[in-house]
Amino acid sequence: MAYEQEVQKDVKRAAGLYTGLGVLMILLGAFAVLIPNVASWGMTVLIGWILVIGAAFLFAWSFTAPGALSVITRIAWSILTLGAGLFLLINPDKGAKALTLILIIYFLASGVIRLGAAFAQRGIQGAGWLGLSGALSLIIGLIFLVDYPQSADWAIGLLVGIDLIFGGWTLILLSNEAKHEVLEE
């Protein structure tokens, strides 16, 4: 019995943490949705730093390769990664345009592929949801494309904001469910 009470305390404590994280994610997401240009710039800079740090690790990893050709190709890979990261850090506006263009291509291609898969699987349960997902992806890609390059100012921030809001709600709902599960036992 004491063990069960201890588990209940742990779940409640963790649920409270998840609720707090969920609220924080929702607030950050709302900020990103309300000021998407700032969030887009911030994400571009963050990706730039991730690439620069990754390049340092790739460079160090280069010297673990057997043979000169492997070392040279890994060094080249690290230089390319460093260059991409520095480009994003030095030119965040151009970097956001490049990243938005990649997103446009992804959403358009993903939408077409999912619509094709839904058409190929018509009659199978769930194919309609796949088609809807594909149509929405295609619409998002077209919205970004029609407004490109201006969409680079807001697209990344808007998507990150929406994702943070949904992620935050998910954490809150899961923590509430965990609390109820413990209370029912």
pLDDT tens digits, residue range 62-97? 998 888 888 999 999 999 999 999 999 999 999 999
Tens of pLDDT, residue by residue over 18-71, are 899 999 999 999 999 999 999 999 999 999 999 999 999 999 999 988 888 889
CA 15 to chain centre: 24
pLDDT confidence of residue 182: 62
Rounded Cα distance between 84 and 82, Å, is 5
**Share of residues in the chain with pLDDT > 70 (%):** 95
Please state whether the predicted TM-score (pTM) of the whole model is above 0.85: no
How far apart, in whole angstroms, are the C-alpha atoms of residue 136 and residue 56? Answer: 38
- Specify whether the CB–CB gap between 129 and 138 falls below 8 A: no
What's the whole-number average pLDDT of the chain?
A: 92
* φ, ψ for residue 35, nearest 5 deg: -130, 65
What is the distance between the alpha carbons of residues 162 and 169, in angstroms, rounded to a whole number?
11
